[in-house]
Amino acid sequence: MSDLLRWGALAALAMAGMGVAAYLAYSHYADQTIMCAGLSGCDAVENSEYSTLVGIPVGLLGTLFCAGLLALVLARVARLPLTEEWAPLAAFSMTLAGVAFMAYLTYIELFVVEDICIWCTSFAAIVTIAWLITLVDVLALTNE
Amino acid sequence: MGRRARRRREKRRTTKVLVEAEVEVAEGLGPARERREKKRPTRPSRRLRYPRILTGVAAAAVAATILIVLSLAPWGNDGEATPSEFIVPTPRPADIPSQGTTLGSPDAPLTIVEYSDFLCPFCTDAALETVPQIEEEYVVTGRVKLVWKQFPLPQLHGEAAIVAAVASECAAEQNAFWEYHDMLFLNNKSVTFNIENLKRFAQDLGLDTEKFNVCLDEGKYMDKVAADYDEADRRGATGTPTFFVGQTMVVGAKPYGEFKKAIDDELAKLGETSEAE
């Protein structure tokens, strides 16, 4: 996968993640029922005490996370100073933290709330794919 | 010869090196070499690259740990549960006696048995619209007592119907069945009946949550729910809600008028029977 293609894919994933998370944040603030593709778990997850972090809805945190990732990708594509050297590692660290936190939230969904929200699962999948893409760069760095 | 000849040779070699260096500088090769060396990419050694990646992993681990710890920390509520977003029912008048899943005076001449499911839409209509009118006109006055029996239909309403039935029996254990019954019907359209929410209902109603949670986790009243279900089956109930007003079977969320007629007829029959006795 070429360098540009990888960063392009990361940008697309960041935008998709931002869309999903922004919808969850909007549903939280607008107090609206989440469209759940015929499944039942979204409201249970959304109403759970784990849906906020220090009072901030996790949907909003997800939006900010994806906005940060997108900004990093754009900076790297624009070849801003230092990004060539540091952006791959920063993207790797960000998405790894995202994967770890999403793994924790998925555990909470499955074993505490006992319901799965399709939006949260989609977000987890997006972050995981993004992390795998950043892993390519980091592994290349170790194999040089 | 030895020593002098050697000194001369060394002097010639040193002079040659110095001359070559002067020539290189004069021809501008020195700076060119410097530029070449500068251009060559300086890759960090493997020894240096690994710590950098490890730093990235460590940073991610620290960030994820902070997020998880923050998500577990109580926020602005001093360790209490988050304020309820559930619809909390209005308490019934204290003078209506209730025992277990029975509401009304034990001495009431007529008994209405309701076989119902907390997740069935028709049961919800009956519970929120018709039954309160029966309570007001007949239960408060001591002429009728209502008995709830569990008739969960998982094939229609999912496993949550059974779990909600067990939870309501756990509330009945604390003599709070009817409050819990109202809580379930008021919230069944907006809240998923999972273990967590069923426990939060109990908490919001001020029940002994420790006792309630153990009861629900153990599925303490599964057998009672199954027995009620079998009883409904034996009595010929095929759908929810099914009411037995005395001996009269009323199926579905019928208008109050239909219930009133059935109740009055049964009360009249009882009156005749009592008089006959």
Integer Cα distance of A89 and B120 in angstroms: 53
State whether A54 and B70 contact (CB < 8 Å).
Answer: yes
State whether A104 and B158 contact (CB < 8 Å).
Answer: no
CA B60 to chain A, closest CA, distance in angstroms equals: 4
Using a CB-CB distance cutoff of 8 angstroms, which residues of chain A are in contact with residue B43?
144
Q: Does the pLDDT of residue B268 top 60, yes or no?
A: yes
CB nearest B60 (choices: A33, A58, A100): A100
Q: What are phi and psi for residue B102, nearest 5 degrees? A: -105, 135
- Residues in chain A where the model's pLDDT stays below 50: none
Report ipTM for this prediction. 0.81
Given a contact cutoff of 8 angstroms between Cβ atoms, the answer to whether A91 and A136 are in contact is no
Q: Does the pLDDT of residue B79 top 70, yes or no?
A: no
DSSP B98-111: EETTEES-TT-SEE
State whether A144 and B43 contact (CB < 8 Å).
Answer: yes
Contacts of A20 (CB under 8 A, 6+ apart): A62, A119, A122, A123, A126
Using a CB-CB distance cutoff of 8 angstroms, which residues of chain B are in contact with residue A44?
191-192, 194, 196-197
Q: How are beta strands B102-103 and A56-57 bridged, if at all? A: unpaired
Residue B233 identity (one-letter amino acid): D
Cα-based distances in Å from B213 to A85, B193, B207, B216: 54, 14, 10, 5
Task: Looking at the structure, give the CATH architecture of the domain made up of residues A3-143.
Answer: Up-down Bundle (1.20)
Contacts of B182 (CB under 8 A, 6+ apart): B89, B127
pLDDT at A84: 80
Q: Does B56 touch chain A (CB under 8 A)?
A: yes
Comparing B34 with A66, the larger pLDDT belongs to A66
Neighbours of A16 (CB within 10 A): 17
Helix (H, G, I), strand (E, B) or coil at B234: helix
Comparing A43 with B271, the larger pLDDT belongs to B271
**Cβ under 8 Å to A: B residues 68-107:** 68, 70-71, 73, 75-76, 81-82, 85
Cα-based distances in Å from A56 to A119, B70, B76, B202, B228: 18, 11, 12, 26, 45
Domain ranges of chain A: 3-143
Return the closest-CA partner of residue B202 out of B181, B222, B224, B218. Answer: B181
What fold does the segment set B98-276 form as a domain? Glutaredoxin (3.40.30)
Q: pLDDT digit string (tens) for B158-211?
A: 788 999 999 999 999 999 999 999 999 999 887 888 898 999 999 999 999 999
Given a contact cutoff of 8 angstroms between Cβ atoms, the answer to whether B137 and B182 are in contact is no
Q: What are phi and psi for residue B159, nearest 5 degrees? A: -60, -25
Residue B242, strand partner residues: B115, B251
pLDDT at B80: 38
B20 — pLDDT class (breaks 50, 70, 90) = low
> To the nearest whole percent, how much of chain B has pLDDT over 90?
48
State whether B61 and A97 contact (CB < 8 Å).
Answer: yes
Neighbours of B87 (CB within 10 A): 14
Q: Which long-range contacts (CB under 8 A, 24 or more apart) does A15-19 make?
A: A15/A66, A15/A70, A16/A126, A17/A62, A17/A65, A17/A66, A17/A69, A17/A123, A17/A126, A17/A127, A17/A130, A18/A62, A18/A63, A18/A66, A18/A67, A18/A70
Neighbours of B208 (CB within 10 A): 14
Average pLDDT over residues B151-164: 86
Q: Does A12 touch chain B (CB under 8 A)?
A: no
CA B83 to chain A, closest CA, distance in angstroms equals: 10
Highest mean predicted confidence (pLDDT) among A109-118, B147-156, B187-196, B212-221: B212-221
**Cβ under 8 Å to B: A residues 114-133:** 114-115
Using a CB-CB distance cutoff of 8 angstroms, which residues of chain B are in contact with residue A89?
52-53, 56
Integer Cα distance of B108 and B106 in angstroms: 6
pLDDT at B41: 47
pLDDT at B274: 36
Give the count of Cβ contacts less than 8 A between chain A and B.
Answer: 85
Domain ranges of chain B: 2-39, 98-276
Residue B144, strand partner residues: B110
**Cβ under 8 Å to A: B residues 191-250:** 191-192, 194-197
Residue B110, strand partner residues: B144
Q: pLDDT digit string (tens) for B39-74?
A: 444 455 555 566 777 888 888 888 888 888 887 765
